[in-house]
Amino acid sequence: MAASLLFALVCGMLGLQQAFKAPYVVSDDGRQHLFWMQRFVDPDLFPGDVTADYFQSVAPYGYTALYWAMARLGLSPLIFSKLLPVFLILIATGYCYILGLEILPVPAAGFLATVLLNQSLCLSDDLTSGTPRAFASPLLLAFFYYLLRKSVPSCLITIALQGLFYPSLVAISVGVLLLRLLRWEGGRIHLSPLRGDYLFFLGGLATGLAVILPFLLRSSQFGPTITAAEARGLEELCSGGRAEFFLRSPNKYWITGMRSGLFPRFLRSHEILFLGLLLPLLLQFRQRFPVLKKVTSGIQLFPQVLLSSLGMFFLAHALLFKLHLPNRYTQHTFRIILSLAAALVLVAMLESALRWGAKGPLLLRPFLLLGPVGLLGIALVLYPAFAKKFPHTNYKVGGYPGLYRFFSRQPKDILIASLSQEANNLPTFAQRSVLVSAETVIPYHKGYYTIMRERISDLIRAQYSCDVHELRRFIRKYGVDFWLLDKDAFDPRYLSSNRWIRQYQPEAREAQRRLERGDMPALLGFVDTCTAFRDERHLVLATDCILKPSPTGGEKVGRGRRNRVDSR
């Protein structure tokens, strides 16, 4: 196990290196799920912020409590999210190793399983996200291990932790307990005759419901969940949308879709895991692979987990989006099962190669025996070198520290309006509220999405309106204090090339027409007099200046004046 933990530690440190490579770094999804937790450090942050309230409402209780406890100990949520992956990968590795030994009591199998698992974890940003899904693999591995050890209390505790950190896992685990009530005997399916199996299942079900129901009731304040019919009419969920789900290609929709597909993305860059698909074939010829004769009854876990995952995957598709995203029920279990299965296949092949080498010429035996081991070791160690990104942390680096410092010096209750992509980073790096941002507009709950959709529509209209009175009405309606602009915000190409803004029609289309006609947006007339900050990419306008009656260009509407902000 020491070698497994060492390999995991190296992987964790590689991710840690990226996490602290610059002053402003955050995981991609952390911009949704972490920024509001800065309230744990300073309760005065994000007052009345609907976005912060929404993401706080959908955060599982255990996940929230852990970050709160770390904040009380002096670790800010952002720092803790960067340290957390190291501990999670070590926990996952430990459970994976001992789980592997429960299935095949050969240390090499446990080691290979951990190497494959760690590689697949590093080829996705699940762990480094610092979000609830970072806990999925460790909690599943723990449950599978305790299940094979027949430790009922530990299993129930793990199910409770799953509900507290990543509720989707509870359905998979309870599904496995349900399937274990079935027995395959004499070519037929029979129910278990053991009363304890039924009590185990009922205990798991009761535990899961006890921890999930309070979470569901809390998150429902921004409900109801969007229906499948409503979702198909949203640009955000169609191909090319911000949260694309309904892909045009049936193959992509069912197989490779990031949210709808059966297979997770990391499998496309970690093809070695597909060796696990050979395991059923090899088990049929155990006489040729003697090491597989040592496989225990724990191997029954594989089909049970796969059936439970597939059942939840198709049920999630049937009940869109009541059970959230279908892919969430397969990506974590497939990673674990394929890592373990591929390890068993590699051990079987390696043992077969060594037996063949032992029968070779005496002088060549050292090469024949060490060759397969060396080649396998080199292949596994060097495999990450051929990956496009290893580890794939998906950390986002803030490139405008001056902008973040400017906003962080402003009062804590300010509100910033912006269509700039940089609005995604301001709540995390500047700790100030934004009216709306591309990263946080999630369409799954209608109560929340309706608010965001109205804000975006109003913002697009106001930013490109030629009517200064409409501009000022927008500022007063939302209480906007600052307006962040990209310097090319009034170039027609800015809108035509922005996939996120183009989703919101007809407002985006009308704004595009105005710019192409040469109409001057009213906001542009205030650039010279109301700019409070500028850098190489952005301008920040103070809205109290815009609201003051002025005889200058801010009150006028014209055509052909200019459509680019002065970059001086």
> Based on the domain organization, do 345 and 413 belong to the same domain?
no
Return the number of other C-beta atoms located less than 10 Å from residue 156's C-beta.
19
In a domain, 560, yes or no: no
In a domain, 240, yes or no: yes
In a domain, 242, yes or no: yes
For every one of its 568 residues, what pLDDT tens digit does the chain have, with 9 covering 90 and above?
898 999 899 999 999 999 999 999 999 999 999 999 999 999 999 999 999 999 999 999 999 999 999 999 999 999 999 999 999 999 999 999 999 999 999 999 999 999 999 999 998 899 999 999 999 999 999 999 999 999 999 999 999 999 999 999 999 999 999 999 998 777 788 888 889 999 999 999 999 999 998 888 776 778 899 999 999 988 889 888 888 899 988 988 999 888 999 987 767 778 888 889 999 999 998 888 899 999 999 999 999 999 999 999 999 999 999 998 999 999 999 999 999 999 999 898 888 777 765 555 555 555 545 556 566 666 676 676 666 778 889 999 999 999 999 999 999 999 999 999 999 999 999 999 999 999 999 999 999 999 999 999 999 999 999 999 999 999 999 999 999 999 999 999 999 899 999 999 999 999 999 999 999 999 999 999 999 999 999 999 999 999 988 654 445 444 444 444 543 3
> What is the distance between the alpha carbons of residues 262 and 243, in angstroms, rounded to a whole number?
17
In a domain, 391, yes or no: no
**Domain C-terminal end among 386, 412, 437:** 386
> Based on the domain organization, do 402 and 370 belong to the same domain?
no
Residues 6+ apart with CB under 8 A from 66: 165
pLDDT at 359: 57
The CATH number given to whatever domain includes residue 466 is 3.40.50
**Domain C-terminal end among 386, 414, 435:** 386
> Based on the domain organization, do 130 and 225 belong to the same domain?
yes
> Based on the domain organization, do 541 and 415 belong to the same domain?
yes
> Based on the domain organization, do 43 and 151 belong to the same domain?
yes
The residue type found at 97 is Y
Q: Can you spell out the DSSP letters for 351-403?
A: HHHHHHHHTS-GGGHHHHHHHHHHHHHHHHHHGGGGSSSSS---EEE---HHH
Residues 6+ apart with CB under 8 A from 528: 552, 553, 566
pLDDT at 562: 41
In a domain, 566, yes or no: no
**Predicted structure pTM score:** 0.91
> Based on the domain organization, do 278 and 351 belong to the same domain?
yes
> Based on the domain organization, do 445 and 379 belong to the same domain?
no
Range of the domain at 545: 398-555
In a domain, 64, yes or no: yes
In a domain, 392, yes or no: no
Closest CA to 407 of 439, 429, 438: 429
Total domains present in the chain: 2
**Domain C-terminal end among 352, 386, 420:** 386
> Based on the domain organization, do 299 and 408 belong to the same domain?
no
> Based on the domain organization, do 381 and 403 belong to the same domain?
no
538-542 and 531-534 beta bridge pairing? antiparallel
> Based on the domain organization, do 245 and 202 belong to the same domain?
yes
> Based on the domain organization, do 488 and 528 belong to the same domain?
yes
In a domain, 562, yes or no: no
Return the number of other C-beta atoms located less than 10 Å from residue 2's C-beta.
8
